[in-house]
Chain A
């Protein structure tokens, strides 16, 4: 079987803090096929962004440390590469865009220079060539009068426009993987849709695979082929986006979907649905399922230990919950 484009398996990350060791990722696995889109969803603090940073090897260490697992880009383990080779991959084969377009661009340079920088660094292009590539990219991400705007500074762009610039920068070297970490959280709702459309369009045009990190189930429904739901540092459910959204198996996924306003069950005037409680502190991790305290379908054994992952078909669907544990389907 050929390698998927990007394969993360058994990834573990911990942070040493003054109050102890926080195991922020445990046994995180997923695969991203070429030109596919994987959605990573979950509440704040569940480890989505850390997963992305770990895959790019951008976890600040110390205090962070990757303790286990592999990140395979076309079969090559990125975690085993020397830093210099990893730097050559960042921005060239894999790139990333961040939540805050307002502060993600360097205020001291024109946007053209910033996009060109990556092209010069990774593709050893001349400055003139790199700048014309920057203009092309600005045009591709829908910035009007790109040839003139390429000489403008970041503060002369609006938030949505800056996120477009970030996307142009991230895609300038035609990477294989684009990680978009909540790319629209800081933007207006109307602009959000534009940015999602832009990412989809560019993915189709360039064949760049996308990891979309979000807590917006609507965006997942629109954008993703596959989705991995994360809770307290673990992937609790993974599968084709349609399946997961239509038939969520894990109670946490069910909760997330029920919470998304404007979908099915919710009528105007009714209070918004919420999952009671908050994500538990990773410092006081006990045995068992981290979601047990918030779960409506909790069983005694949930608090003791986690079940083995239940895999359906040839790995098309995975879930980590006693309700679906292979050996005991019927609740005890």
Chain B
């Protein structure tokens, strides 16, 4: 019994130096440690960095405009050194389309997710924090948006206005926020009843400070994870709208590539396969990173 105890007295009074060193990690460092342990998430992050890097630097390095005719139509990939991934039915360079079109797809995905998450967190926070009639009213609004068929609603919005990128962003944002709102509502309901919220109130915090400073930081982890899923969904959504021809026809995007090449799918498989694979890999890597974030932001997986 005594052999187990440390030789110095008062073992309870001070933690051992090793324990203190581990404890000194900030939540961010601690989260990164957990994230790093998730190999799929690291692979996703690497892939995402590669994809974003290619989109940012690629067009300048490759130097071919996506809308220009680069070679004869239906040039198969890996046969012409000028157009590595071949050309589509108009003779446009598929690789240039991938590099430039990714920008629109991913930017629209990110912006739409930002719109969706902002609406969702704001309405969810108000509903969860205030409860009562505010909650009843906002919950009905959420349900109203939930029962609308998302793709149809977005299509209506885009066709009502001109199919510009901004309209597409808001159309996707407006159909994708309900999940975040419900999550934020649940988190705010849970956290507003926690003792630290009561303590903050007893220290003189008003509703705005309680919501923004006390509750929101603690509600963020699940919201960040849901945001990463929404980014993936928004990218797919943008591709879907482009495929249906409901996006800016003057801006190259992955969905537009698939949509415009779909009639020639048999004689020109590369025209749809490469952008399809690009969408698949991007959404996959975003989801893997989201999964890693889920672990990293889960305090139960942190060392105590």
Contact = CB atoms under 8 A, between A and B. Distances in A.
Interface of A: 56, 58, 62, 84, 87-92, 95-98, 100, 103-109, 117-118, 121-122, 152-153, 155-156, 166, 169-170
Nearest to A106: B196
Contacts of A155: 299, 304
B203 A169 contact: yes
A143 B14 CA distance: 12
Contacts of B214: 106
A113 to B, nearest CB: 10
Given A100-B195, A107-B196, A90 B218 contact: no
A90 B201 contact: yes
Interface string B11-28: 000000000000110110
A87 B198 CA distance: 13
A109 B214 CA distance: 9
Interface in B33-61: none
B252 to A, nearest CB: 42
A90 B304 contact: no
Contacts of A90: 201-204
B202 A58 contact: yes
Given A103-B194, A122-B204, A109 B217 contact: yes
Question: Which of A87, A92, A122, A170: most chain B Cβ within 10 A?
Answer: A87
Contacts of B23: 152, 156
Chain B interface residue bracket vs A = 20 to 34
Contacts of B198: 58, 98, 104
B166 interface: no
Nearest to B14: A144
A32 to B, nearest CB: 17
A299 B218 CA distance: 55
A100 B218 CA distance: 18
Contact of B204 (A91, A108, A152): A91
Nearest to A101: B195
B199 interface: yes
Contact of B218 (A84, A91, A107, A169): A107
Closest CB pairs A-B (n = 6): A91-B203, A91-B204, A108-B217, A90-B204, A96-B202, A103-B195
B199 A108 contact: no
Q: Is the interface of B mostly helix, strand, loop or mixed?
A: helix
A96 B204 CA distance: 10
Contacts of A56: 202
A112 B196 CA distance: 15
A107 B217 CA distance: 9
A318 to B, nearest CB: 28
B206 interface: yes
Nearest to A115: B203
A88 B299 CA distance: 34
Given A153-B27, A155-B304, A156-B23, A105 B202 contact: no
Nearest to B219: A108
B180 to A, nearest CB: 19
9 contacts: A90-B201, A104-B195, A104-B199, A106-B217, A118-B203, A152-B24, A153-B27, A156-B23, A169-B203
Nearest to B199: A104
A156 B196 CA distance: 16
Contacts of A105: 196, 199
B195 A98 contact: yes
Contact of B202 (A91, A103, A108, A109): A91
Nearest to B203: A91
B136 to A, nearest CB: 14
Contacts of A58: 198, 201-202
Nearest to B19: A156
A92 B202 CA distance: 10
Contacts of A95: 202-203
A103 B198 CA distance: 10
B200 interface: yes
A87 B218 contact: no
Contacts of B65: none
B205 interface: yes
B204 A103 contact: no
Interface in B288-304: 299, 304
A100 B196 CA distance: 9
Interface in B178-221: 194-196, 198-206, 209, 213-214, 217-218
A183 B201 CA distance: 17
A156 B302 CA distance: 12
A95 B203 CA distance: 6
Interface string B213-252: 1100110000000000000000000000000000000000
Nearest to A121: B204
B224 to A, nearest CB: 13
Nearest to A56: B202
Given A91-B205, A170-B203, 13 more contacts: A58-B202, A62-B132, A90-B201, A92-B204, A95-B203, A100-B195, A103-B195, A107-B299, A108-B217, A121-B203, A152-B23, A152-B24, A156-B24
Contacts of B206: 84, 87
A137 to B, nearest CB: 13
A162 to B, nearest CB: 11
Contacts of A109: 217
A107 B300 CA distance: 13
Given A107-B299, A153-B27, A117 B218 contact: no
B285 to A, nearest CB: 28
Nearest to A156: B23
B205 A87 contact: yes
Nearest to A157: B23
Contacts of B205: 87, 91, 121
A122 B203 CA distance: 9
Nearest to A52: B202
